[in-house]
Structure 1
Amino acid sequence: MGLSILIVNYNTEQFIVNFLHDLTKQTIGASCLEVIIVNNSNNNTMQSLIEQNNLNLNLNIQVILSENIGFGRAMNVAASVASQPHLLIANPDLVLADHHYLQELLIQAESHPQYGAITTQLLDEKQQDLSEFYDYEFHETFGFKNQICWFSGALLLIRSEVYQHIGGFDPDFFMYCEDEDICLRLKQHGLPLIKVNHLQISHIGGASEPNLCHNYFSRWYRSQILFAYKHMSADAFNVLLRKLQRKARYKCMTYQLLKPFGIARYKFKLTQWQAMAEILKKTQQESTDWLKYTPK
């Protein structure tokens, strides 16, 4: 019944400290719980905050220093040193109010020994549940129509042996869409995605990337196109690229004409579609291998 909680930090230290405080109030036994934080910020701030708050006295916490290698790769690092049979992929900005949450989550895991991934209600600030999705990027279902296709990677429970068997998160994704990818691979292996609706956890969202700027959209669209490249047929992928190129040209032209009106929403949309146009242009001019994340 043991649980390893895996967290990636990138300038989200205070969110993590708050979450760790929540963990100290959980009814699950301390001997059954470990926390592994991969610190992509590559500094000692995280460890210092843990020591200042005496959190390491109540929790088994391990901090691993790292360069910013992205979300999926960092989770793979954490999973490689995890010692418990169940892995909880957790975003730093989760708020855990139910003191029985982790204990009940593990009971559900033991009740479904062949599960692929488990999640619960994941509530945003408007109390909307944003945990489950019924299609993948560009409205593809890959044969899983009218089913849950993927769970948000903000909270994802996976058995350690399953995680290792499927190779963990695909390291080609730097950030975004890696949760869709791993859930699709779980389903392709015949492992079910299970939603526990009577459990709730809050997710603030956007902690590591609060500014929706050009660089954000570039990372997001690059991951979307990479996901399509990996999972679509070559013909379907090329049709998609042509469709997106036409749409991006039209959107950029439209919002460029509207930009002089000074409406913030138009400027935001122009930034968004310019990022998409740049990704598509580079994909057309170069091998699609450039989409894959390569560590510096």
Structure 2
Amino acid sequence: MGISVVMVTYESYPLTRRLLEPLVSGIGKELDEIILVDSASPDQTGKKLKADFPVINYLPMPENQGYGAAVNHGANQAKGDWLLIMNGDLEIHPAQISQLKELAEASGADVMAPLQETPEGNPIPTVRNFPTPTTILFARRSPLGVLLGSSGGYLCSLPDKTKGVNGFVGGACFMVRKKKFQEVGGFDPNFFLFVEDADLCKRLSESGAKIFFTPEVKVRHYWSFSTGQNALRKLRQQHKSLRYYFKKHFPNRRFSRAFLALLFWLQRGFFRLPGMKR
């Protein structure tokens, strides 16, 4: 039961090259293959990486259709029974990927997510409860969340051992059985960015799949919140994805969707206030 790594990249050649180098050494050993999906990078990131590492399977996207669509494109070409899905800004080594697979098989998990850390070694809260109007109202970057210092139950305490979770795990790095991923149709490509992981895990859970988290495997994620106008664009995209999520999973709760639209409008205004934490 082999492992296919599906890595998505966009305009990040220097960083992705550095992080890809140790992974390539695992091809034919811990890994069956590395599939690099480039989301139409203007700087030709994918072409450059293919030239540097001819052994990888390079799949260019004709245009940037978002993270989920890119992952689906790579997963459809994968040979392994297990998929290690990851961003191009994440540091993980072949032995760690093999360990994830061993932990998943030993626990009967269909999804196994590692502990993600910042470059400084701080844990990233990547285990979360599924979005609801209440959790969004008190989320840590909402007006009430900032004022009250609350996450509204959206963020979960990271388990201190390998165990199943009732919510979802972050989509930047996780291992999943290819069969299960395909059974639910993979990522919903209507999510361009953000919340696609919550939607996928919700559909997996509803299908009976077991979602696990393990702190035994620690990976570095070279990602941080941007500031200024770029951060505001990200916030708008997150709101767009959340609106679609609620329309999809709560089709009869029109009042909740109207309430969320008002909340998002307030949050964007709050976000612009001087001195607010981004």
TM-score of Structure 1 vs Structure 2, range by shorter chain? 0.7 to 0.9
Deviation by residue 1:228-248 (Cα, 9 ceiling, x = unmatched): 11111413xx22233235445
Contact 1:209-1:216 at 8 Å conserved across structures: no
Identity %: 22
**Alignment match, 1:67:** 63
Contact 2:104-2:111 at 8 Å conserved across structures: no
Residues 209 and 150 of structure 1: CA distance in aligned 2, closer, same or farther (over 3 Å):
farther
The answer to whether structure 1 residue 2 and structure 2 residue 2 are counterparts is: yes
Please say which of residues 78-87 and 8-17 is displaced more in the overlay: 8-17
Residues 35 and 66 of structure 1: CA distance in aligned 2, closer, same or farther (over 3 Å):
farther
**Cα distance in 2 between the residues matched to 1:148 and 1:4:** 26
The answer to whether structure 1 residue 23 and structure 2 residue 23 are counterparts is: yes
Match of 1:193 among 211, 230, 235: 211
Deviation by residue 1:219-260 (Cα, 9 ceiling, x = unmatched): 11000111111111413xx2223323544566677788xx6x
**Alignment match, 2:129:** 134
Deviation by residue 1:24-53 (Cα, 9 ceiling, x = unmatched): 355x744742111221125644222442x4
**Alignment match, 2:116:** 122
Match of 1:265 among 228, 253, 276: 276
**Alignment match, 1:150:** 168
**Alignment match, 2:161:** none
The answer to whether structure 1 residue 92 and structure 2 residue 88 are counterparts is: yes
Contact 1:12-1:207 at 8 Å conserved across structures: no
Contact 2:165-2:213 at 8 Å conserved across structures: no
Match for 1:241: what amino acid? R
The answer to whether structure 1 residue 48 and structure 2 residue 48 are counterparts is: yes
Of the two, which has the highest radius of gyration? 1
The aligned length equals 249
SS in 2 for 1:100: helix
Gaps of 5+ in 1: 269-296
Residues 210 and 190 of structure 1: CA distance in aligned 2, closer, same or farther (over 3 Å):
farther
SS in 1 for 2:47: helix
**Cα distance in 1 between the residues matched to 2:34 and 2:106:** 23
Please provide the CA RMSD for this pair: 3.1
Contact 1:120-1:131 at 8 Å conserved across structures: no
Scaled by the length of structure 1, the TM-score of the pair is 0.73
Residues 50 and 120 of structure 1: CA distance in aligned 2, closer, same or farther (over 3 Å):
same
SS in 1 for 2:230: coil
Deviation by residue 1:122-159 (Cα, 9 ceiling, x = unmatched): 11235123231134253289xxxx95300000012111
Match for 1:5: what amino acid? V
**Alignment match, 2:156:** none
Gaps of 5+ in 2: 137-152, 154-163
